[in-house]
Chains A and B, each alone.
Chain A
Amino acid sequence: MSLLYQIFIDPFAQMIASPDLLVQTIWEGFVGGVLYALIALGFVLIFKASGVFNFAQGIMMVFAALTLVGFHEKGAPAFVALVLTIGVMYLLALGVERVILRPLVNQPEISLFMATFGLTYLLIGGGELVFGGNPKSMIASELYLPSGSIDLKMLGGTVSLQKLDIAAAVIALVMVVGLGLFFQNTRIGRALRAVADDHQAALSVGVSLNQIWVIVWFAAGVVALATGIMWGARSDVSFALQIVALKALPVLVLGGLTSIPGAIVGGLIIGVGEKLGEFYWGHIFGGGIESWLAYMIAMAFLLFRPQGLFGERIIERV
């Protein structure tokens, strides 16, 4: 009986009793969700255009952040380092297209997925060789990212919003809107959508598949860089960060593998859901349920909508 009380009544009583903590939890969840959504965005970009599930997205994020910090340590001023890193991500995109995508054209998807796994190992080993395994701090202040927090006295307590998190949310929003506009209105964006629809049809109207793939991987690389900067500013940049990319999987699944707005909406649902769940219901189960709550939420959604919220409806024909 008391267990039922703990599950169904107590959390809501707590929510009403200290609404400032409720708002704080929702904000923390929102921020976490935005960061997951950024990672998921990279996945979606690549999956949409080349049909490859890029397992290496997490490590690309770490690699981009480490490259940025590495250039800065070698003496480049912050924004020069940023431009250089963007250049490195472009070279990476070129390399991936030439070495991995071109030879594996038209092969089963699972082989391409496996190849991105090989890329992950390569980037981990190569990245650690060049930059060393020690965690480094992100050059947040040099990039004019705000620090400190805004403390709002509301609802009987304090809700503190980190300025960095607000900046992350704004940047994510700008990126999503920018990418959305890019896909809708520019020539390259249309070409990307054409490639996502049907590779052969796109080829037949003169869209260069190889060029599109380079652009898409480069865009995903830039998204990875932005994500890496944001995550790195919150906690140091190290290879432990790439485990976070796994959390993007339920976001992807929830939002649909091919939808950019889906990545954002999915991210927010997962982020807020898991924080609220952990904070109000976690202690009943001994704590730490955050590690699997996101997947359970995603699975529950999938049972009702197997293609995700915004994904393309799976039509099966015999």
Chain B
Amino acid sequence: MFYREAGQFKTSYAADMAIFPIRQDRIGLAIILAIAFIAIPATGNLFLLDTVMIPFLIYALATVGLNLLTGYCGLLSLGVGAFMGVGAYACYKLTTIFPGVNILIWIIASGFVSCAVGVVFGLPSLRIKGFYLVVSTLAAQFFLDWCFARITWLYNDNTSGAIEVPTAKLFGLPITGPTATPTTRYFIVLIFVVTLAWIASNLVHGRIGRMWMAVRDMDIAAELMGVRLLRAKLLAFAVSSFYAGVAGALMVFLWLGAAEPEAFNINQSFLVLFMTIIGGLGSIVGAFLGAALLHILPIGLRALPGAIGLSLGSATIEQLTFAITGALIIFFLIVEPRGLAQLWRIGKQKLRVWPFPY
């Protein structure tokens, strides 16, 4: 009833091919952005910003990256954690070698470093297909993990192998380090994530996205059609690793404030992969939904017994959180095996014809 396109005429090809052609879509997006930029910081709840929103956005960014690789190009990858680590350590080295340059530039540069590393480990994808490709990315994950611990140059020969983040300023406001307020950090992360998600959305709706989807569906047919597999697959690895690298740098500099090699281990890769799958492969919105489910839900579950006055041991809460998260994942998959993004799409479809059933 209020989602109809009746009356919205396009007068140019560009308008017709736009990603959000329906006005209601654009209004909805504006509302979400307004909530993100205005309403949430205005609550002033530091826990909400620091522990819920900033990690959620960072994980969403990494999930968008992995979605580009696994969802749109069909190359299953378990190396996301390591590529995040490459970005984080690259940013650390760049800031310590050139402390004068603005850290935001270094965050983007570290994305490119991670991009290069990702391309190298993506080379076997030309020969190995399907599930077996997991091994190549796992090799990347464990090898890079080992490098983070062994190559002392990466962490400036710190005894413990851990890196601490120096304070960096932007327009006089500290944005990294312990003095940076959660609000400042939240805005920086939000700007990064919104911009990069916008770029990703344009990528997948354009020629490159279609090329990737052709490779995913049947790469031999795509090759016959003129798609160059080498370029397509390596581009997918490159872009995905760029997103992962930026996410890693953001994670260390604007969220944790410190890092050790353990932060980028295989569990991190699994977490991002699961966010991708449960959010819905092949969907940018799905990346955000998956990150929300797998990050915010456990926090909420952990805080729930205290909020309703139930006193359980901390270990019991932790175990219950695991069990309930697992049960909910199975539940959501049974309800919609193609992930939360599919539920979202079906919901929008229903909304378009509401109040009629079809």
A contacts, CB < 8 Å to B: 53, 99-100, 103-104, 107-108, 110-111, 113-115, 117-126, 128-129, 133, 246, 249-250, 253, 257, 285-286, 288-289, 291-292, 295-296, 298-299, 302-303, 306-308, 314, 316, 318
Most buried by B among A53, A99, A104, A253: A253
Partner of A299, one of B136, B321, B325, B339: B136
Q: In whole angstroms, how far apart are the Cα atoms of A117 and B270 in the complex?
A: 9
Query: Is A119 within 8 A of B135, CB to CB?
Result: no
Contacts of B206 in A (CB 8 A): none
Q: How far is the CB of A292 from chain B (nearest CB, A)?
A: 4
Expressed in whole angstroms, the Cα–Cα distance for A117 and B274 within the complex equals: 8
- From A111, A128, A296, B333 is in contact (CB under 8 Å) with A111
Output the least CB separation between B225 and chain A (Å). Answer: 10
A289 contacts B146, C-beta separation under 8 Å: yes
A interface footprint on B109-144 (CB within 8 Å = 1, 0 otherwise):
000000000000000100111111011101100110
A125-B324, A250-B135 known; A288 and B146 CB under 8 Å? Answer: yes
Interface of A is mostly: helix
- CB <8 Å contact, A318 and B221: yes
| Contact B333–A292 (Cβ < 8 Å) | no
Q: Which residues of A contact B339 (CB under 8 A)?
A: 111
Contacts of A108 in B (CB 8 A): 337-338
A285-B150 CB under 8 A given contacts A104-B337, A111-B277, A253-B134: yes
The answer to whether B128 and A302 have CB atoms under 8 Å apart is: yes
Q: Provided the pairs A111-B338, A133-B315, A318-B224 are in contact, do residues A257 and B323 lie with their beta carbons within 8 angstroms?
A: no
B278 lies within 8 A of chain A by Cβ: yes
Contact of B330 among A53, A115, A289, A295 (CB under 8 A): A115
Residues on A with beta carbons closer than 8 Å to the beta carbon of B321? 125
Within 8 Å CB of B150, what residues of A? 285-286, 288
Measured CB to CB, the nearest residue on chain A to B142 is A292
Residues of A contacting B328 with CB < 8 Å?
118
Known A129-B320, A246-B138; 10 more pairs at CB < 8 Å: A108-B338, A113-B277, A114-B274, A115-B330, A118-B329, A121-B323, A122-B327, A123-B326, A249-B134, A295-B139
B135 touches A118 (CB 8 A): no
CA–CA, A196 and B9, complex, Å? 53
Query: Which residues from B are CB-within-8-Å of A128?
Result: 315, 318-319, 322
Among A100, A118, A123, residue most surrounded by chain B Cβ atoms (within 10 Å): A118
Instruction: Say yes or no: A121 contacts B325, CB within 8 Å.
Output: yes
10 pairs from A and B in contact (CB 8 Å cutoff) = A114-B278, A115-B330, A118-B325, A120-B326, A129-B320, A133-B319, A285-B150, A292-B143, A302-B136, A303-B128
7 closest Cβ contacts across the A-B interface? A121-B326, A125-B323, A125-B322, A122-B326, A118-B329, A295-B139, A292-B142
For the complex, give the distance between the alpha carbons of A315 and B130 in Å: 12
Interface size on B, residues (CB 8 A): 48
Check B330–A118 contact: CB distance below 8 A.
Answer: yes
Asked if B281 contacts A302 (CB within 8 A), the reply is no
Q: Are A299 and B333 in contact (CB under 8 A)?
A: no
Q: Is the CB of A118 within 8 A of B333?
A: yes
Of the listed residues A286, A299, A302, A314, the one surrounded by the most CB atoms of chain B closer than 10 A to its CB is: A299
Q: Which residue of B136, B143, B220, B318 is within 8 Å of A316 (Cβ)?
A: B220
> Are A303 and B124 closer than 8 Å at their CB atoms?
yes
Residue of A104, A110, A133, A289 near B277 (CB, 8 A) is A110
The smallest beta-carbon distance between A291 and chain B, in angstroms, is: 5
Q: How far is the CA of A125 from the CA of B327 in the complex (A)?
A: 10
Chain A residue with Cβ nearest B266:
A246
The answer, yes or no, to whether B199 is at the interface (CB within 8 Å) is no
Chain B CB within 10 A, most for which of A122, A249, A289? A122
Residue B218 is within 8 A (CB to CB) of chain A in the complex? yes
Distance in angstroms from A237 CB to nearest chain B CB is 17
B270 to chain A, nearest CB (A): 8
CB atoms of A292 and B146 under 8 A apart: yes
Given contacts A121-B329, A318-B221, contact A307 B146 (CB under 8 A): no
B320-A298 in contact (CB<8A):
no
Once A104-B334, A126-B323 are accepted as A-B contacts, the answer to whether A114 and B143 lie under 8 Å apart by CB is: no
Given the complex of chains A and B, what is the CA–CA distance between A53 and B145 in angstroms?
A: 25
